[in-house]
Chain A
Amino acid sequence: MNVKLFLTAEAIILPAALLLAVLRSLPGPVFFPLRALAVIYADLFRGIPTILVIFMLGFGMPGLGVSWIPQSQFFWAVVALVLVYSAYVSEVYRAGIESVHPSQEAAARSLGLSRGQTLQFVVLPQAVRRVIPPLLNDFIGLQKDTALVGALGVVEAFRQTQIDQAATFNGTYYLVAATLFVAITIPLARFTDWLVARDRRRQQAGRLA
Chain B
Amino acid sequence: MSNPEAALEIEGLYKSFGKLEVLRGIDLDVVEHEVVCLIGASGSGKSTLLRCVNLLEPIDAGRIVVGGEEITAAGTDVNRVRRGIGIVFQSFNLFPHMSVLRNVTLGPRKALGLSRAEAEAEAGALLERFGLADKRDEYPDRLSGGQQQRVAIVRALAMKPELLLLDEVTSALDPELVAEVLDVIRELAAGGMTMVIATHEMGFARDIASRVCFLDAGTILEEGPPERIFTAPREPRTQQFLQRIVDAGRL
A→B interface (CB under 8 Å): 103-104, 106-114, 117, 121-122, 125-126, 129, 202-205
* A122-B94 Cα distance, complex, nearest whole Å: 10
B56 CB-CB contact with A under 8 Å: yes
* Chain B interfacial residues counted at CB < 8 A: 31
Which residue of chain B lies nearest to A126 when distances are taken between CB atoms in the complex? B97
Which residue of chain B lies nearest to A129 when distances are taken between CB atoms in the complex? B97
**A106-B110 contact in complex given A111-B83, A111-B159, C-beta closer than 8 Å:** no
Q: What B residues does A204 contact at CB under 8 A?
A: 139, 141-142
Q: What B residues does A121 contact at CB under 8 A?
A: 106, 110
Contact of A126 among B78, B96, B110 (CB under 8 A): B96
Contact of A113 among B85, B94, B96, B111 (CB under 8 A): B111
B15 CB-CB contact with A under 8 Å: no
- Some 30 contacts from A to B, beta carbons below 8 A apart, are A103-B93, A106-B56, A107-B93, A109-B56, A110-B82, A110-B85, A111-B83, A111-B107, A111-B155, A111-B156, A111-B159, A112-B79, A112-B80, A112-B81, A112-B82, A112-B83, A112-B111, A112-B112, A113-B107, A113-B110, A117-B111, A122-B95, A125-B97, A129-B97, A202-B139, A203-B96, A203-B97, A203-B139, A203-B142, A205-B141
Q: A112-B83, A205-B142 are in contact. List 4 more A-B contacts (CB 8 A).
A: A109-B82, A111-B83, A117-B111, A122-B95
B214 CB-CB contact with A under 8 Å: no
Which residue of chain B lies nearest to A120 when distances are taken between CB atoms in the complex? B110
Which residue of chain A lies nearest to B90 when distances are taken between CB atoms in the complex? A103
Q: What B residues does A203 contact at CB under 8 A?
A: 96-97, 139-142
Contacting pair A112 B159 (CB below 8 A): yes
Q: How far is the CB of A99 from chain B (nearest CB, A)?
A: 12
B91 CB-CB contact with A under 8 Å: yes
Q: How far is the CB of B92 from chain A (nearest CB, A)?
A: 8
Q: What A residues does B199 contact at CB under 8 A?
A: none
Q: What A residues does B82 contact at CB under 8 A?
A: 109-112
Q: What B residues does A117 contact at CB under 8 A?
A: 110-111
Which residue of chain B lies nearest to A204 when distances are taken between CB atoms in the complex? B141
Which residue of chain B lies nearest to A200 when distances are taken between CB atoms in the complex? B141
Q: How far is the CB of B198 from chain A (nearest CB, A)?
A: 15
